[in-house]
Amino acid sequence: MIKTVEALQEYLNDILVGKIQSSKIAFNELTIEVKPDDWLTVSVALRDSSQAPFEQLIDLCAVDYLAYGDVEWETKNEGFSRGVSGQTASRLDFDQVLETTEYDGQRYAVVMHLLSIASNLRLRVKAYCNDNDFPSLDSVVEVWSSANWYEREAFDLFGILFRNHPDLRRILTDYGFVGHPFRKDFPLVGHVEMRYDEDKGRVVYEPVTIESRVLTPRVVRDDQRFAPADEVDD
């Protein structure tokens, strides 16, 4: 039975020849990237491995790389600002969002975190969806039943479809919700709010009543922690 991360990396490279696109060890944990078409095949192979069987799926999540590396945060000596520039897609007007949502690479990825009880090892498995407009992957519910709600969450929040999922429907948002809140182009400032109307006996949708505001300090106080070294008294 395999007991080290280095041995696991070598073993998986041997049994998954042609299916692993990248393999990396960081923080004593192995991460492999596989082709989307091999997502289900690799999952079955990992579960049924004789040397390092991954019996448990601990977590499954999705990632949107649309605004990867972009940031609106600035930290300066004289104070702090939060999202003042309004440059990322979620802070722009709808017309501007349409101009910023083009992405050359593979935009959506799905990541699994697996645990091998027999080997006491963890593994991260990642795959990018081929189609940015219609992201999809095979469901792994038949491999690990715990993937059921995780895949529903990824579908709800990112809009990733999992083929052959037994019950793929929203799990966190409302029944009539439009859009996928964790996508980078989903507006942070909503246009509709919901509440329960006792007179009508149902949930109603109305225009938002909260005004948009930028979180910046109104008063910036001097603080020696952020002053240049030559200005701080000994």
Same domain, 112 and 161: yes
Distance CA(210)–CA(225), nearest Å, equals: 35
Is 225 among the domain residues?
A: no
Q: Which stretches in the chain have pLDDT values below 50? A: 77-83, 94
Is 24 among the domain residues?
A: yes
Kindly state the tokens that stand for 204: 């109603």
Please say whether the beta carbons of 56 and 144 come within 8 A: yes
The CA-atom distances, in angstroms, between 227 and each of 81, 216, 219 are 17, 19, 17
Same domain, 86 and 111: no
Same domain, 128 and 59: yes
Same domain, 112 and 210: no
Same domain, 154 and 83: no
Same domain, 110 and 198: no
Is 177 among the domain residues?
A: no
Residue 109: the pLDDT is 97
Residue 208: the pLDDT is 77
Is 183 among the domain residues?
A: no
Same domain, 57 and 127: yes
Distance CA(119)–CA(1), nearest Å, equals: 6
Residue 104: the pLDDT is 75
Same domain, 16 and 110: yes
Residue 95: the pLDDT is 53
Residue 85: the pLDDT is 53
Q: Phi-psi region for residue 226, left (φ > 0), alpha (ψ -120 to 50) or beta? A: alpha
Q: Phi-psi region for residue 66, left (φ > 0), alpha (ψ -120 to 50) or beta? A: alpha
Residue 30: the pLDDT is 97
CATH number of the CATH domain containing 150: 3.30.460.80
pLDDT tens digit sequence for 176-186: 788 899 998 88
Residue 76: the pLDDT is 52
DSSP summary character for residue 106: -
Is 176 among the domain residues?
A: no
Same domain, 47 and 15: yes
Same domain, 56 and 12: yes
* pTM, full prediction: 0.76
Residue 79: the pLDDT is 47
Distance CA(78)–CA(128), nearest Å, equals: 41
Please say whether the beta carbons of 183 and 66 come within 8 A: yes
Same domain, 77 and 62: no
Is 184 among the domain residues?
A: no
Is 53 among the domain residues?
A: yes
Is 59 among the domain residues?
A: yes
As for how many domains the chain has, the answer is 2
Residue range of the domain that includes 118: 5-66+106-167
Mapping DSSP onto H, E and C, the string for 177-202 reads CCCCCCCCCCCCCCCEEEEEECCCCE
**Pairing state of beta strands 108-116 and 121-128?**
antiparallel
Same domain, 129 and 160: yes
Angle at 185 between CA 181 and CA 187, to 5 degrees: 65
Residue 217: the pLDDT is 54
